Amino acid sequence: MSGFPQAKVAKLSNGQRHSSPYLSDFVGGKVFTVCPKCGLQRRYDAATLLERAGDHCLPDLLKRIAMAEGCPRVGDKDDGCTLHYDIERMHQQPLAQSRNGA
């Protein structure tokens, strides 16, 4: 494991930034969330949500959504909120792959 100055592997050990998708990855489509416990179902336009909440990785964003929607189980340690993304629906939709600017 020597002689290669550009060892990409070293990057992965610490921050796993690339494993979590960001809200900006879904711009051009919708973000679906559902909480079976509360019966909460929401659909957001990703671009609008990005403007309002900023760009967060999806797990982080989920907490913000749950709080914003007033899910009664947010922060409940024994019977926590089960709000999650309807990730299949999010991936089924056509997303604008082109990114404007940099």
| Window 65-84: residues binding Zn ion (CB under 5 A) | 71, 73, 81, 83
| Window 28-67: residues binding Zn ion (CB under 5 A) | 35, 37-38
Nearest distance from C-beta of residue 70 to Zn ion, angstroms: 10
SS (H, E, C) 59-100: HHHHHHHHHHCCCCCCCCCCCCCCCEECHHHHHHCCCCCCCC
Total residue count of the chain as it appears in this document: 102
Q: State which residue, 16 or 41, has the beta carbon closest to Zn ion.
A: 41
Q: In the complex, which residues of this chain contact Zn ion (CB under 5 A)? A: 35, 37-38, 71, 73, 81, 83
